[in-house]
Amino acid sequence: MPAPLRLQGIPASVGYAEGPLFDLDRPPVAYAGKASSAEELKSLKAAIGKAVSRLVAMVETADSDAAGILEFHIAMLEDDALSGPAFASIASGHSADAAWRQALDAEIAGYEASDQDYFRARATDLLDIRDQVLRALTDDGEHAVPAGAILYGEDIAPTRFLQIDWSAGGGIALKAGSTASHVAMLARSRGVPMVVGLGALPAGLAGPALLDAEHGSIVVDPSPMEIASFRESLSAFAARQGDARSFLTRPALTKAGTAVRVQVNIAYPTDVDGIDIATCDGVGLMRTEFLFGKTLPDEETQYRAYRKVLEWAGEKPVTIRTVDAGGDKPVPGFTIQEGNPFLGLRGIRLSLARLDIFRVQIRALLRAAPHGNLKVMFPMIATAEEYERSAALFAEEQAALAARGIMQKMPPLGIMVEVPSVAIAPEAFAGVAFFSIGSNDLTQYVMAAARDNAGVAHLNSVRHPAVLRLIGSVAAFGRENGIPVSLCGDAGGDPASIPVLIEAGLRDLSVAPAQLATAKAAISDVAV
């Protein structure tokens, strides 16, 4: 029996799966050429038809997000403008698969060359469309995936995901992939366990595997002991999920009856589409880095994104963080290359160095503010002067908007507490509207352990007494001075850290939407 192989990635959709590995990237069955151009043409038309009818069947059970993607694929496949060049190429002597691949690759190249993000992203859809027909040509369809299998490979297309019958279990393990992809979104909404970023899996991997998408690991060829412990984790997880669901719709209370506010962290405006506002106390952190992709966003794009979330939340607060680029989040045309980016020009430092970009975001926020209960916070504040300069910019832009007769409102302005200087001497910030503790960065700076370095991961614990003491003193300072204090780092959603955070004096946590139920359940076990 081969030795077990264990790999660590990032959880994209929580859950557990045990089953045989299935290689998503194995070379497709070779296409068998036909005797004449007429037969090649017939075989390509049949394959397109087969791909369309598979898509049509999928639409029937798809939710509106998935149906939108599928209908786009169907419309493309039914358009002669897409297949025309392939048909012409068959007439000049090419085989059906070569003709189709060539025609679609030309189309894909056009999308990839676009200067618009949205359009460039559609190249993935075209690739997906290409491969659906190529699979239909060799009749290598969905039948090949055994029930309950763990699919592994570079990445997986949304239609491939939708073709699979997940009722028998199974999961996804990707070498690359992203927690923000369409597929990750689908996996979360269907409850299919998924791990991304596993890195280089050896080629030709096969055999039984255990996927732990709660912690982000996969074990191939597990030992009997590993199987037993996996099944224990699985049943504990299932029990926790069952218990937790009953907490979701209720306000969070500790055993002693202390109320704890539980808000959500979001990264994209679309994240709120899957959340019932009644299950949370608002948005404790809305990141804005998503807007800063390959191009810098204009004021209108930002305004619409902020307004969408504010309107969704209604009267509940939405705390938007001004752009926190730099560190491990580079943005072309904005951040700079530096030797030690976590200690460099990131967060508010970068915004204050690039006022042209910062002012656009400030105007969008001021204009969005009348549409809900907005609060704005600045990341990476180290000195009171940075806060004062940022607040002054808000006042300047507000006056300019007012002079032009544009509707706007000044939101309460707060700061992230993540640089140790603020946590150690919070009295310099007695004038801010609120504090939000960024426990991930605070921990990495207090422990001098980069959060993206697996070699020092054991040092990166929010439960280290030094980190907890700082959190406790910030909470106490806030209480004494009437400044609300919340925490929006990963620790807020971690059942193992929740008790110590509440003991440290925090009464306001902001967690990933998927952790709402388990966080509330964990709070109910706290004695304080």
Partner 1 sequence: MSANAEATILITHAVGLHARPSVKFTKLAKSFAADVEIALAANGPWFDAKSIVKVMAAKAPKGTVLHIRASGGDARDAVEALVDLVRRDFDEGADHARSA
Nearest to partner 1 of 80, 315 (CB atom): 80
Separation between Cα atoms, residue 290 and residue 270, nearest integer Å: 11
Check binding of 71 to partner 1 (CB under 8 A). yes
Which of residues 68, 207, 251, 431 is near partner 1 by CB under 8 A? 68
Provide, rounded to whole angstroms, the least separation between the CB of residue 102 and partner 1. Answer: 16
Query: E strands along 342-455, which residues?
Result: 373-378, 413-417, 435-437
User: Between 166 and 205, how does the x/- string for binding to partner 1 read (CB under 8 A)?
Assistant: ----------------x--x--------------------
Nearest to partner 1 of 123, 410 (CB atom): 123
Residues of this chain, 91-120, that bind partner 1 according to CB under 8 A: 107, 110, 114, 116, 118-119
3-state DSSP call for residue 413?
A: strand
Range in contact with partner 1 (rule: CB under 8 A) among 78-86, 141-149, 246-254, 459-467: 78-86
Range in contact with partner 1 (rule: CB under 8 A) among 212-220, 265-273, 356-364, 448-456: 265-273
Separation between Cα atoms, residue 299 and residue 401, nearest integer Å: 13
Separation between Cα atoms, residue 475 and residue 290, nearest integer Å: 30
Residues of this chain, 116-135, that bind partner 1 according to CB under 8 A: 116, 118-119, 122, 125
Separation between Cα atoms, residue 19 and residue 69, nearest integer Å: 29
Residue type, 98: A
Range in contact with partner 1 (rule: CB under 8 A) among 73-81, 228-236, 352-360, 508-516: 73-81
The strand pair at 283-286 and 259-266 is best described as parallel
CB of 390 within 8 A of CB of 378? Answer: yes
Beta-bridge partners for 286: 266, 320
Active site residue 488: yes
Check binding of 304 to partner 1 (CB under 8 A). yes
Check binding of 305 to partner 1 (CB under 8 A). yes
Provide, rounded to whole angstroms, the least separation between the CB of residue 119 and partner 1. Answer: 6
Separation between Cα atoms, residue 376 and residue 395, nearest integer Å: 13
Range in contact with partner 1 (rule: CB under 8 A) among 66-74, 196-204, 399-407, 442-450: 66-74
Check binding of 79 to partner 1 (CB under 8 A). yes
Check binding of 269 to partner 1 (CB under 8 A). yes
Torsion of CA 16, 439, 313, 268, to 10 degrees: -60
CB of 127 within 8 A of CB of 41? Answer: no
Nearest to partner 1 of 69, 381 (CB atom): 69
Q: Which helix (H) or strand (E) holds 88?
A: helix 80-91
Range in contact with partner 1 (rule: CB under 8 A) among 259-267, 299-307, 369-377, 417-425: 299-307
Which of residues 37, 233, 270, 524 is near partner 1 by CB under 8 A? 270
Check binding of 150 to partner 1 (CB under 8 A). no
CB of 281 within 8 A of CB of 314? Answer: no
Nearest to partner 1 of 34, 182 (CB atom): 182
Q: Considering the candidates 73, 143, 182, 464, report the single residue annotated as catalytic.
A: 182
Check binding of 156 to partner 1 (CB under 8 A). no
Check binding of 249 to partner 1 (CB under 8 A). no
Provide, rounded to whole angstroms, the least separation between the CB of residue 394 and partner 1. Answer: 25
- Our CA angle for 515, 516, 520, nearest 5°, is 115
Query: E strands along 93-223, which residues?
Result: 150-153, 171-174, 194-196, 208-212, 217-220
**CA nearest to 312, candidates 363, 284, 271:** 271
Nearest to partner 1 of 76, 506 (CB atom): 76
Active site residue 280: no
Check binding of 360 to partner 1 (CB under 8 A). no
Beta-bridge partners for 377: 321, 414
Check binding of 82 to partner 1 (CB under 8 A). yes
Nearest to partner 1 of 75, 147 (CB atom): 75
Tokens at 106, concatenated? 């030309």
Which of residues 39, 311, 396, 452 is near partner 1 by CB under 8 A? 311
Q: What are phi and psi of 148, to 5 degrees?
A: 75, 15
CB of 282 within 8 A of CB of 509? Answer: no
**441 CB neighbour count, 10 Å cutoff:** 23
- Catalytic site residues? 182, 488
Footprint of partner 1 (CB under 8 A): 65, 68-69, 71-72, 75-76, 79-82, 107, 110, 114, 116, 118-119, 122, 125, 182, 185, 269-270, 273, 300-301, 304-305, 308, 311
